[in-house]
Amino acid sequence: MKALRTVSLSLALAAQLAAAEPSAAPSAPRAGPGDVLARVGGVPISRAELERMFAAGPPELKSRGQRQYLAELVKFRTLLELGKRKGYDKNPAVKARLAPKVRETLARLVFDEEKAKLPPITPEAARAAYETRKALMVEPESVEASEVACNSRADAESFLDRARKAGGAGGLSAADTSRLKDLGKVYAGMVPANVFYFLKGLPLGTVSEPVETRSGWRLYVVRALHPERQKSFEDVKAALEQELSGGRDEQVLAGLMDMCGKKFPVKVHEARMAEADPLAVVIEVGEARITRQEVLLELERYEKVMREYLTREPGRRMLLDRLAQRECLAQEASSRPSIQEKFGTQLQYSQDKEVVETLLSEECYRHVRIDDAEERKYYQENRRKFGREQVQSSHILFRRKGSDPAKRAAEALRRLSAGEDFHALARELSEDQATKDKGGELGWFGREFLVEPYDRAAFSMSEGQITSRPVESLYGLHLIKVEGLKRAVPFEQVRDAVVKELTQKRRDEAYQKFLEAARREIGVEEHPELLPPDPAPPPDPRAASVQKITITSDGQIRIGQ
């Protein structure tokens, strides 16, 4: 079975949690009904059980809080129970697919045990790594900002008026303050430069002029400015220690293979992969034999791109070496009692996870079908994502508020026709203060990024061409020069990416429907309200990243369509 990307984090992580008590039904709590947080098929999940598993669980899920942890565990146990009722835990194909995972589990346990013998990373080693790379450990400048989502421009202007009367954001009423959404730190480079410098230029604590985005009208408040700063050793100590620890992996593996290779001699017959016989022995490790058929089954666990890489050099040799190493370490695990004690739990985890993945593959994902028309439709709807058409342009702007902009634009065109440099003329004449000093350069933009008349004109021109007449927009008259063009990437060139993304989207939708049906069939009862609220997710600084950025004739920034 080809490895499938799990629809949510739940399957991979909740499976690890379920490994603590994978098969035996947890005993019913005795302290009272308030200690039963959920029931899956009549089997309770107690508060004590959840807290014990939460304390030992992976940090990726723990950071979300106990309610989310409970939800993910319930999902996994629901699917596991359904898989068992349908007999997937006794399916021979499941057991066959489980065999290499058993070897992987054994090999990993040996590796982990050996790595644990190494002394911990010392603060001195981490400090030395910090000093070596100190110049690269810089936090870019940032602003701490909040935004207000408004129903309309009138709503935005009304809010702004109240803020001005209150003397700024700090004087707003409780009702208005509750509308402020924290964006956290917005870093330079994480949003378009125009957006960052717009936020950076706002006086602290004041509410911005209305900004139009693709999602509607917004107001912004900047609470603090942070200049670029050198990260301290304490800032990066934990990450450096983790990185240094990871760097020991090759050292540990080399030592293990040197030791285990003497006990279980390894021979790799790569040329036999070209033979037709599926039972041709490709790898020998001690008394164990791995056939060509087993190698081909191993390949099926990978996604298409990686599978293609592993079928030819140097990927094929890498795969065979990895399989030899795995078998060698798995045989070493069989001789270590300490590992055998841990193996039971790990094996049950692997079995349960295989049951759930097989259930989803056979009864949920296999029904997902996408035809050519759907692929092309999805490509058209998401052209920006899959390689949109772009234009690089410069402009000279003559604002409406000036005297006779048409006459001034005509004179500029005459000078351009006489051979004067476009960028020099922009520095002299343009009334767009944001681009004037750069010779009118706007950089690269995709379609619908700039105001409509400008956008239409720029994409209709050839590279190096200058408009023969002014282009009129609500900001004034533009003379445009196209500096470069990037045509849209054809569908055929990105088809694989389109199919992959659309397939995953359809699988996500199918998974949600399948899970709801499974919950009804198995019978699920949840009481997340008995747990403390989960922490709020960290704000996404990309929330301030929007598309169309223009400046109105009165100096107001307009972002979006």
Buried b (16+ CB within 10 A) or exposed e, 416-442: beeeeebbebbeebbbbebbbeebbeb
Tell me: do 422 and 464 sit in the same domain: yes
The pair of structure tokens assigned to 1 is 């079975």
Rounded Cα distance, 435 and 425, in Å? 12
What does the pLDDT read at residue 302? 85
How far is residue 106 from each of residues 124, 261, 452, measured CA to CA in Å? 34, 16, 62
What does the pLDDT read at residue 538? 53
Tell me: do 332 and 401 sit in the same domain: no
pLDDT in tens, 152-192: 888 999 999 999 998 888 888 888 888 999 888 888 767 76
Residue 132 belongs to some domain of the structure: no
Tell me: do 340 and 432 sit in the same domain: no
Q: What's the pLDDT band for 325 if we cut at 50, 70, 90?
A: very high
Quote the crossing angle between the two packed helices 315-333 and 92-116, to the nearest 10°: 80
C-beta separation of 475 from 455 below 8 A? no
Tell me: do 296 and 222 sit in the same domain: no
Residue 225 belongs to some domain of the structure: yes
The pair of structure tokens assigned to 207 is 């509410």
Residue 427, pLDDT above cutoff 70:
yes
Tell me: do 479 and 422 sit in the same domain: yes
Q: End of a domain among 198, 230, 262?
A: 230
DSSP labels for 392-454? EEEEEEEETTSS-HHHHHHHHHHHHHTT--HHHHHHHH---TTTGGGTTEEEEEETTSS-HHH
Determine the average pLDDT of the residues in 363-376. 92
Total residue count of the chain as it appears in this document: 561
Percentage of residues of the chain with pLDDT beyond 70: 86
User: Is 345 strand, coil or helix?
Assistant: helix
Residue 403 belongs to some domain of the structure: yes
What does the pLDDT read at residue 61? 65
Residue 210, pLDDT above cutoff 80:
yes
User: How many domains, the chain?
Assistant: 3
Rounded Cα distance, 475 and 92, in Å? 71
Q: What's the pLDDT band for 486 if we cut at 50, 70, 90?
A: confident
Residue 326 belongs to some domain of the structure: yes
What's at 399, amino acid-wise?
Answer: R
Residues 6+ away with beta carbon under 8 Å from 217: 149, 150, 151, 152, 153, 155, 156, 210, 211
Rounded Cα distance, 561 and 452, in Å? 9
**How many CA atoms, within 13 angstroms, populate the side-chain half-sphere of residue 298?**
23
More confident residue, 32 or 54: 54
User: Is 280 strand, coil or helix?
Assistant: coil
More confident residue, 223 or 388: 223
Residue 405 belongs to some domain of the structure: yes
Q: What kind and span of H or E run contains 106?
A: helix 92-116
pLDDT in tens, 237-296: 888 888 888 778 888 888 999 998 899 999 999 999 989 899 999 999 999 999 999 999
Considering only 23-27, 71-75, 83-87, which range has the smallest mean pLDDT?
Answer: 23-27
User: Is 205 strand, coil or helix?
Assistant: coil
Tell me: do 339 and 394 sit in the same domain: no
Rounded Cα distance, 368 and 363, in Å? 10
Residue 321, pLDDT above cutoff 90:
yes
Rounded Cα distance, 437 and 472, in Å? 22
Residue 63 belongs to some domain of the structure: no
Tell me: do 280 and 334 sit in the same domain: yes
Considering only 136-140, 385-389, 455-459, 535-539, which range has the smallest mean pLDDT?
Answer: 535-539
Tell me: do 216 and 176 sit in the same domain: yes
Rounded Cα distance, 51 and 20, in Å? 12
Tell me: do 189 and 222 sit in the same domain: yes
Look at residues 386, 416, 390 and name the one whose alpha carbon lies nearest to residue 483: 390
Residue 28, pLDDT above cutoff 80:
no
Residue 184 belongs to some domain of the structure: yes
The pair of structure tokens assigned to 377 is 């439709």
What does the pLDDT read at residue 214? 66
Range of the domain at 346: 104-118+248-350
Q: End of a domain among 427, 456, 487?
A: 487
Look at residues 326, 319, 334, 313 and name the one whose alpha carbon lies nearest to residue 266: 326
Tell me: do 269 and 333 sit in the same domain: yes
Determine the average pLDDT of the residues in 358-368. 91
Q: End of a domain among 487, 513, 547?
A: 487
Look at residues 538, 532, 549, 540 and name the one whose alpha carbon lies nearest to residue 37: 532
Tell me: do 114 and 252 sit in the same domain: yes
Determine the average pLDDT of the residues in 120-131. 89
Percentage of residues of the chain with pLDDT beyond 90: 35
Determine the average pLDDT of the residues in 344-364. 86
Rounded Cα distance, 321 and 213, in Å? 53
Residues 6+ away with beta carbon under 8 Å from 238: none
Tell me: do 338 and 263 sit in the same domain: yes
Strands 36-40 and 43-46: antiparallel
Q: What's the pLDDT band for 20 if we cut at 50, 70, 90?
A: very low
Residue 205's domain is classified under what CATH number?
A: 3.10.50.40
More confident residue, 13 or 512: 512
Cis peptide before 314 (omega within 30 of 0): yes
